[in-house]
């Protein structure tokens, strides 16, 4: 039963990650700090899920801006480690703010 519960959680993580990224990229998100903390945890737990969600978002936008969106995603994760240390979470939150501004500018 624990194995089934764990397997279920493993299956949910990529979906949650995708939903959070969609919200950050395509919707109004006034409190970015509250979104960045769980997003970093999900990225650390499921790097493959993050890559899939990222590719899904990139492929959903116009071809003319896909390279710019990819570059924004690269910047989001630059200098971010796979840890939940306070300094790393703060770096990720700052990078997410920049990422969101870049993407909003690109998609306008």
Q: What is the pLDDT of residues 23-72, one digit of tens each?
A: 888 888 777 778 898 999 999 989 999 999 999 999 999 999 999 999 99
Q: Write down the pTM of the prediction.
A: 0.85
Q: What is the DSSP string of 20-75?
A: HHHHHHHS--S-HHHHHHHHHHHHHH-HHHHHHHHHHHHHHS-HHHHHHHHHHHHH
């Amino acid at each position: 039963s624990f194995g089934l519960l764990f397997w279920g959680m493993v299956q949910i993580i990529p979906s949650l990650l995708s939903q959070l990224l969609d919200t950050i990229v395509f919707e109004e998100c006034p409190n970015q700090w509250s979104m960045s903390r769980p997003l970093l945890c999900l990225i650390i737990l499921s790097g493959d899920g993050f890559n899939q969600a990222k590719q899904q978002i990139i492929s959903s936008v116009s071809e003319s801006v896909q390279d710019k969106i990819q570059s924004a995603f690269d910047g989001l994760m630059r200098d971010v480690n796979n840890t939940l240390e306070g300094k790393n979470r703060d770096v990720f939150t700052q990078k997410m703010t920049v990422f969101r501004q870049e993407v909003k500018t690109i998609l306008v």
